Amino acid sequence: MDFIEELDKTMNQIKYGWADAHGYTYPDLSRDFAKDYRLQSPDELLKTKYGVCWDQVELERKILAEAKIKASTYNIIHYSEDTNPKMRTHTFLLFSHNNKVYWYEHAWEKHAGTHVFNSTDEAIATIQKIFIKDELQNKCDKDYIVIYEYPTPKPHLTPSEFYKHCESSPKYLPNNQQ
């Protein structure tokens, strides 16, 4: 799959971090992230070379679209009063090719790579298990986890605008729950 090689080549230039509204880059999520972050367009991300998962999946989506591969993006969110911060989240991308579903991951470095599944349900169930284990240290109530499948957002959204964009999208439900 040549398009995966192209995707890897481009994404390996990107580091985890973020850019503020003025284009200054930060290698970690400082306290100013919630105030100063703006979602980058794929072209802006290619210039700054720093992006969180929200930025990175949009560049991945663009590269796959250029290869005529349709990708879907999801935001898994754990809402809780018991954690600090009050919300944990990760955005990820899935695409189908040759009757398989692929999870392409770059931002979540521990799980970076291309992961192959037989169905979207299997992929999302696996990602949810990993999210619960790694991000929530197995300390969560699954009733507080929601997964949204969201369309391409407009660039320059603030974090709260990005969440509103995701939360206005359909919740993902496995086929056995639809």
Domain boundaries, the chain: 2-177
d(CA 173, CA 178): 6
pLDDT of residue 81: 65
Q: What pLDDT is stored for residue 58 in this prediction? A: 98
Nearest to 127 by CA among 61, 74, 176, 72: 74
pLDDT at 1: 73
pLDDT-flagged residues of the chain (< 70): 81-86, 176-178
pLDDT at 45: 97
State the chain's mean pLDDT as an integer: 92
d(CA 129, CA 38): 29
Q: What percentage of the chain's residues is helix, strand, coil (to nearest 5)?
A: 40, 25, 35
Residue type, 115: H
Q: What is the pLDDT of residue 174?
A: 79
pLDDT digits (tens, 9 = 90+) for 4-36: 999 999 999 999 999 988 888 999 887 788 889
User: How many degrees, rounded to 5, is the angle at CA 113 between CA 127 and CA 13?
Assistant: 125
Bond into 155 cis (ω within 30): no
- Identify the DSSP state of 14: -
pLDDT at 83: 54
Instruction: Show the tokens assigned to 13.
Output: 């230039």
Going by the DSSP 8-state scheme, the letter that residue 110 receives in this structure is: G
Q: pTM for this one?
A: 0.92
Tokens representing 142 are: 């699954």
Confidence at residue 22, expressed as pLDDT on a 0 to 100 scale:
85
- CA distances for 118 relative to 59, 95, 102, angstroms: 25, 12, 9
